[in-house]
Structures are given as C-alpha cells and as structure tokens.
C-alpha cells in the first residue's frame, strides 16, 4: 500500500503562537451538572466553572485523569450537553444563539478527531466514502478533494476502495484526520487521538498533526490523560481535576515547575520507559517522541 506522506519526521519545533493571535475558542465559567442516580442522588458537577481560551494556531493541551470532566467539556463544546452555567464562544460566535444553517456552518469550522480509530470509522464504508461524506452532506463533493485530503495525511489513491478493517490503527487515525479536515475547519478538538496507538506510531501521528497545523493554521484543543503526550506539542497546558481547571500555563513551565499538587501527582505517575522492551509500556504511556523509532525515518506503511 502506498504511503505518500511526509518523508523523514521533521524536527518538532513548532512555531510559537503570536501573543496577539485572535482567540478562536473562549469558554467562560462553564458548568455542566448532571442529576445524580442511585441511592445518593447527589448532583454530579462534571464541569464546574471552567474558563479557557484558544488562539489561532495554538495548541492547548487539556489533561486530567479519567472522570475529571474532559469528555463532558468537549461534548458541551459540540452542543451535546447543555451548559448549566457560563458561556462558549466559537470563532466569535455563540453557538447557543444560533440555529439551522448558521449553526451548521459554525459547527463545520470546529471538528473532532476521536480517540479510537477502530470504532469511529464506519466499517461498511470505503475510505473514499468516509472522507467524502462530510463534503457530500454540504453539497461540496469533489473526488480530487478526497484524493488531496488523503495525500495530506500521507495516504495514496490506492486506499480509496479499502475499508477500515484493512488498515492499521495509525492509518485509520490518518483517515479520521482526513475526514475531520474535509470541510476546512479552523479548530480541531483532538480527543486522546493517539492513546489507542502503538507507541512508535503515536509519534508519527503527532508529527502529522504538527505539520497539518503549520500548513493550515489550525488551532488544537488536545485532550489527554497523560501530561507527557501533550508536553511537546502544546503551547499551553490546562490541568483538569474534578470538573475544574487547577492549573494553566506554558507547557514547559507546567511540566518542569508545576504549581498545583495534583499536577505534580500526574507528573509523578508518568513512568520511565523500559528501553529493553521495544514498544512495551511500564505503566502509562511514555512520550512517543522519546521512543527510539520515532526520531527519524519515513512514515512506515504500518503507521
Ligand atoms: N450523562 C451523565 N450522567 C451522569 N453523570 C455523568 C454523565 N456523563 C459524565 N458523568 C460523570 O461526570 C464526571 C466526568 O465524566 P467525564 O466522562 O466527562 O470525564 P473524563 O475526564 O472525560 O473521563 P474519561 O477520560 O474516562 O472519558 C464523571 O463523574 C462521570 O461519571
């Protein structure tokens, strides 16, 4: 299978985002409370007064352990949960004040890449149809555009007729990214996009995301439970715990001089990779960019 991507993995120095770059996503004092269930019936404050902002071309890493409220926050950004309090502005518009075509247009400008490339792609569709679907829905289908989108993520025309089961995890994630880019979004919400992938493949997908960001001026909200995964590609990191942001700051500052005790706990939980077991994990995921196979070389067909 051809893989027309990227050649050697480039250096991972990202262009720092300009301090005066426009804010593309702003969340202010957002809260989402669920009714409790079971005997205690206490309300669950899944998101509890979250404020954050994302600038054009910036990557904000949002980290927190399972249950900290990351998914609820993301679902609320996409209108799938109703906020109990607070506001969301996407590209200077309030999605809750829009409906119909205006809301669809705004939604097209912020797309999602899912964690699990095994379950997020329709197994019955060909690669062509998976990537073409959003274009068709908007009446903008163009075969050349589908081919170009796949080329952008490093896949050749020969994949067009294949179905998800015929790809590796990394290739599936590339297809998911191509689909997410189909409508030329300005913001991508990346929900643990590499957590389901082998360590060596994680670096290739992260490099692809960095390259696409530079090419298209994309802004990323990058969700992860592991601080080490977001460290190298984030401008800033926000740490979430029990529905609240407990710390936000420049990525390297948060990593090297965490101010919050919970951030320090998360950092302490990052294991040291065992060099004797290639690709093996000694607990949580070591940073993919530190993996020996990730430093250079072409993206392999297995990615
Ligand atoms: N629909 C719901 N009804 C009731 N409680 C919910 C609902 N959705 C989430 N919760 C609760 O809200 C809290 C935050 O969950 P959420 O899934 O947002 O966390 P998370 O950080 O995304 O975790 P994970 O990484 O496991 O997805 C949890 O206590 C969860 O049980």
Q: Is residue 262 part of a domain?
A: yes
Of residues 24, 17, 64, 62, the one with CA closest to residue 238: 62
Protein residue whose Cα sits closest to atom 14 of ligand 1: 69
Index of the ligand 1 atom closest to the CA of residue 72:
18
Query: 72 in ligand 1 pocket by Cβ < 6 Å?
Result: yes
Counting ligand 1 atoms within 8 A of each CB, the residue from 32, 34, 61, 266 with the most, and so the one to mutate, is: 34
Structurally, the chain folds into a number of domains equal to 1
Residue 224, domain extent: 23-294
Q: Under a CB-based contact definition with an 8 Å cutoff, are residues 74 and 93 in contact?
A: no
Q: Is residue 37 part of a domain?
A: yes
Q: What's the rounded Cα separation, in Å, for the pair 138 and 223?
A: 28
pLDDT, position 162: 97
Distance in Å, CA 79 to ligand 1 centroid: 16
Query: 170 in ligand 1 pocket by Cβ < 6 Å?
Result: no
* CA within 13 Å, CB half, 105: 8
pLDDT, position 188: 98
Distance in Å, CA 220 to ligand 1 centroid: 22
Distance in Å, CA 44 to ligand 1 centroid: 9
pLDDT, position 170: 94
Q: Is residue 215 part of a domain?
A: yes
Q: What's the rounded Cα separation, in Å, for the pair 147 and 212?
A: 16
Q: Is residue 299 part of a domain?
A: no
Q: Under a CB-based contact definition with an 8 Å cutoff, are residues 71 and 50 in contact?
A: no
Which CATH number does the domain housing residue 200 bear? 3.40.50.300
pLDDT, position 272: 61
Q: Is residue 5 part of a domain?
A: no
Q: Is residue 99 part of a domain?
A: yes
Distance in Å, CA 67 to ligand 1 centroid: 5
Query: 76 in ligand 1 pocket by Cβ < 6 Å?
Result: no
Mean pLDDT (10-residue bins), the chain, 303 residues: 42 74 97 84 93 96 94 94 96 93 94 85 96 96 97 96 94 96 97 89 92 95 90 92 96 91 87 48 37 33 41
Q: Is residue 302 part of a domain?
A: no
pLDDT, position 52: 97
Query: 215 in ligand 1 pocket by Cβ < 6 Å?
Result: no
Query: 69 in ligand 1 pocket by Cβ < 6 Å?
Result: yes
Does the predicted TM-score (pTM) go above 0.95?
A: no
Q: What angle do CA 101, 126, 211 make, to 5 degrees?
A: 70
Index of the ligand 1 atom closest to the CA of residue 65:
21
């Amino acid at each position: 299978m051809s893989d027309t991507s990227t050649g050697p993995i480039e250096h991972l120095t990202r262009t720092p985002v300009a301090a005066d770059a426009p804010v593309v996503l702003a969340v202010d004092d957002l809260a989402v409370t669920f009714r409790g269930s079971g005997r205690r019936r206490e309300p669950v404050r899944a998101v509890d007064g979250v404020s954050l902002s994302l600038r054009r071309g910036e990557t904000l890493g949002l980290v927190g352990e399972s249950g900290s409220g990351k998914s609820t926050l993301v679902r609320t950004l996409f209108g799938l949960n109703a906020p109990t309090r607070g506001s969301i502005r996407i590209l200077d518009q309030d999605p809750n004040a829009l409906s119909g075509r205006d809301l669809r247009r705004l939604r097209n400008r912020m797309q999602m890449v899912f964690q699990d490339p095994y379950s997020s792609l329709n197994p019955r569709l060909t690669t062509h149809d998976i990537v073409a679907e959003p274009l068709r829905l908007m009446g903008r289908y163009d075969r050349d555009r589908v081919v170009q989108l796949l080329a952008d993520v490093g896949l050749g025309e020969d994949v067009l007729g294949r179905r998800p089961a015929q790809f590796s995890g990394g290739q599936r994630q590339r297809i998911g990214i191509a689909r997410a880019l189909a409508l030329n979004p300005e913001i991508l919400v990346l929900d643990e996009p590499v957590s389901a992938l082998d360590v060596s493949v994680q670096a290739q997908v992260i490099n692809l995301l960095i390259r696409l960001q530079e090419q298209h001026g994309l802004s990323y909200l990058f969700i992860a439970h592991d601080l080490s995964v977001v460290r190298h590609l984030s401008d800033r990191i926000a740490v979430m715990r029990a529905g609240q942001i407990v710390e936000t700051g420049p990525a390297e500052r948060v990593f090297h001089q965490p101010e919050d005790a919970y951030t320090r706990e998360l950092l302490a939980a990052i294991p040291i990779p065992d060099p004797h077991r290639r690709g093996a994990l000694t607990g949580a995921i070591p940073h993919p960019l530190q993996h020996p196979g990730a430093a250079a070389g072409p993206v392999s067909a297995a990615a």
